[in-house]
Structure 1
Amino acid sequence: MQHVLADFSVSISELKKNPSSLLSEASGSPIAILNHNKPTAYLIPAATYEAIMEVVEDYELGKLVEERRAELSDAVTVSLDDL
């Protein structure tokens, strides 16, 4: 059985009827969209999606930094005057 990771859930047919009222009712919380009582999608506010994407980008950037720090022994020392 799949877990529903939202406080609000609606069927696809309910979503089609009046999406604006569902968004208002959820007050910015995620809405699980169910198909045959199984979550098929999550509807989240744009601001929440943007915040999630920032966290993902920060995480990926952190991984890149750690990878490059591990390769520090391969780095070539250059003085600013040589540039």
Structure 2
Amino acid sequence: MSFIWSLIIGGLIGWAAGAITGKGVPFGIIGNIIAGFIGANLGTFLLGSWGPSLGGFAILPALLGAIILVLIVSAILRAVKS
């Protein structure tokens, strides 16, 4: 059950990062979940594990990491398209 909870929280973090930046993540909900998981790991690596925790993720570092990831992915996709 905790794995499902982690998927839900990861998806919400990825969705929130896309909404904050105004840039969508490719592949819909699967992309949001992947962005949430990778962003959580990136944020925890860069900022540590502080703040409230939910579903195994420290929410603030995970959200900041996901925002960074979404911006990097959108810049790469924009460069590839042009």
TM-score, normalisation: structure 2: 0.28
Structure richer in strand, relative to its length: 1
Higher Cα radius of gyration = 1
Q: Which has the higher helix share?
A: 2
Whose RCO is larger (CA < 8 A, sep 6+)? 2
